[in-house]
Amino acid sequence: MLEPSKNELLTQVGRGTPMGELLRRYWMPIAAVSEFDDESVKPVRLMGEDLTLYKDLRGTFGLVDRHCPHRSADMSYGFVEPCGLRCNYHGWLFDHDGRCIEQPYEDVAQPEARFRDKIRIKAYPVQAHAGLLWAYLGPQPAPLVPNWEPFTWKNGFVQIVFADVPCNWLQCQENSVDPLHFEWMHMNWSVRLAEKSGPYSPRHLKLAFDEFDYGIVYRRIREGMSEEDPLWKVGRVCLWPNALFTGDHFEWRVPIDDQNTLSVTWCFSRVPKNREPYVQQRIPSWRGPVRDAETGRWISSHVMNQDFVAWIGQGIVTDRTREHLGTSDAGIIMMRQRFLKDIEAIARGADPKATIRDPEINQCVTLPIADRKRLVEGMASEEMARNPLGAGRLATDYIFQAGQPREVRQAYAEAMGLGE
């Protein structure tokens, strides 16, 4: 149970709030590079700030205020130039750093006044990496965009998947350090959803949570598992500050504002050995629905949709004064305590946990991965079909989220050599 003031402290993400300032010390994935194949300007909302993300004609990405500093027109209806974004109302043009570089009328009527030199639009750095667009809203100097180990892997088909989840980010992230829900929410409930009764899946017998440089590792023993199992020896990762990492995919819970979260998944599927060398030309991205249009209920057919049901069900900002934490929640307590300590750390002027500034380390940031060998070295198709993990990955259906577009499914099937 948490006192109301702590709940507010940990959940509020606006500028000037302690948690909002802490989260601004990290690069946040906010969109996919491939979204800009057909469009060049897009409105985004991040940590309560309304912004405009764009790709200019030279291919450089920028992130500026949603409103023009002249008379507040909506910059997401602006248009791009070789350098920067131009407001569609009176044509003021802004570069990536937020400098006003043209005011078409003022530049002619009163060039000597150089009015434009006095004008700036709010602008934040944005970087493309691993098919994602990352934004940094914190103080300079910014840390590096983390080059997590899977971003360096070869011979994989990657897809990026979004969902708009109408609740606060922290309850989503608490799910990243909650191994127990796997047994009930994903295993037992899925069986009941398929209208089958039958035995429950193996129970969790033992859980362990350990903090490391880039997050918290959680480990589990279920009935029938030995202590040699990679899920006990290596475990899975609650990745700092707002993601889950399971080995083949990342799930970020990006705060849109206090009441909404953007779920961003980066999913790597290793192609079978017999399909190598495989070089992906374009990383596709798509947005899946959260609500069933016919029934109005939340979708429950896929793994992450089930998670969304839990998170949204907890309330828009869950009331932690009413919770009763058990021993299974030790990781959640660990996470909250670390956030509270890091709020103090940044107030002292120190870097918070898991900010990376050393380019040497950032060549490839390794993480605990239970089945690295399968993901890096790959397996032949037949071997994959026999392997309990590999078989799931060979299915044409995307198991994590509902709504995968047909063309992405086709590209995946082609990469994996399915249906030949």
Taking the least distance from each CB to ligand FES, the nearer of 77 and 200 is: 77
Taking the least distance from each CB to Fe ion, the nearer of 79 and 184 is: 184
Taking the least distance from each CB to Fe ion, the nearer of 155 and 265 is: 265
Q: Which of 8-16, 83-91, 210-218, 300-308 is the region at the interface with Fe ion (rule: CB under 5 A)?
A: 300-308
Taking the least distance from each CB to ligand FES, the nearer of 91 and 230 is: 91
Q: How far is the CB of 182 from Fe ion (least distance, A)?
A: 6
For β-strands 132-135 and 126-129, DSSP reports them as antiparallel
Q: Tell me, what amino acid is at 195?
A: E
Q: How far is the CB of 107 from ligand FES (least distance, A)?
A: 12
Question: Residue 71: which of ligand FES, Fe ion, none does it interact with, CB under 5 to 8 A by kind?
Answer: ligand FES
Taking the least distance from each CB to ligand FES, the nearer of 1 and 109 is: 109
What is the contact mask toward ligand FES in residues 42 to 81, using x (rule: CB under 6 A)? Answer: --------------------------x-xx-x--------
| Opening angle at CA 261, ends 257 and 262, nearest 5 | 120
Q: How far is the CB of 38 from ligand FES (least distance, A)?
A: 25
Question: Residue 340: which of Fe ion, ligand FES, none does it interact with, CB under 5 to 8 A by kind?
Answer: none
Question: Residue 267: which of Fe ion, ligand FES, none does it interact with, CB under 5 to 8 A by kind?
Answer: none
Q: How far is the CB of 81 from Fe ion (least distance, A)?
A: 44
SS (H, E, C) the chain: CCCHHHHHHHHCCCCCCHHHHHHCCCCEEEEEHHHHHCCCEEEEEECCEEEEEEECCCCCEEEEECECCCCCCEHHHCEECCCCEECCCCCCEECCCCEEEECHHHHHHCHHHCHHHHCECCEECEEEECCEEEECCCCCCCCCCCCEHHHHCCCEEEEEEEEEECCCHHHHHHHHHCCHHHHHHHHHHHHHHCCCCCCCCCCEEEEEEEEECCEEEEEEEECCCCCCCHHHHCCEEEECCCEEECCCEEEEEEEEECCEEEEEEEEEEECCHHHCCCCCCCCCEEECCCECCCCCCECCCCHHHHHHHHHHHCCCCCCHHHCCCCHHHHHHHHHHHHHHHHHHHHHCCCCCCCCCCCCCHHHCECCCCCCHHHHHHCCCHHHHHHCHHHHHHHCCCCCCCCCCCHHHHHHHHHHHCCCC
Q: How far is the CB of 118 from ligand FES (least distance, A)?
A: 14
Total residues at interface with ligand FES (CB under 6 A):
9
Order of strands, sheet of 243-245, starting from the edge strand that comes earlier in the sequence? 204-212, 215-222, 236-239, 243-245, 249-257, 260-270, 156-165, 285-287
Is 90 a binder of ligand FES (CB under 6 A)?
Answer: yes
Is 307 a binder of Fe ion (CB under 5 A)?
Answer: yes
Taking the least distance from each CB to ligand FES, the nearer of 123 and 262 is: 123
Is 89 a binder of ligand FES (CB under 6 A)?
Answer: yes
Residue pair 269/157 in contact (Cβ under 8 Å)? The answer is: yes
Question: Residue 92: which of ligand FES, Fe ion, none does it interact with, CB under 5 to 8 A by kind?
Answer: ligand FES
Q: Which of 86-94, 132-140, 247-255, 263-271 is the region at the interface with ligand FES (rule: CB under 6 A)?
A: 86-94
Q: Which of 10, 31, 53, 87 binds ligand FES (CB under 6 A)?
A: 87
Q: Which of 24-32, 235-243, 301-309, 371-379 is the region at the interface with Fe ion (rule: CB under 5 A)?
A: 301-309
Q: How far is the CB of 352 from ligand FES (least distance, A)?
A: 37
Q: How far is the CB of 189 from Fe ion (least distance, A)?
A: 11
Taking the least distance from each CB to ligand FES, the nearer of 61 and 92 is: 92
Question: Residue 307: which of ligand FES, Fe ion, none does it interact with, CB under 5 to 8 A by kind?
Answer: Fe ion
Residues found near ligand FES in the complex (CB under 6 A): 68, 70-71, 73, 87, 89-92
Residues found near Fe ion in the complex (CB under 5 A): 307
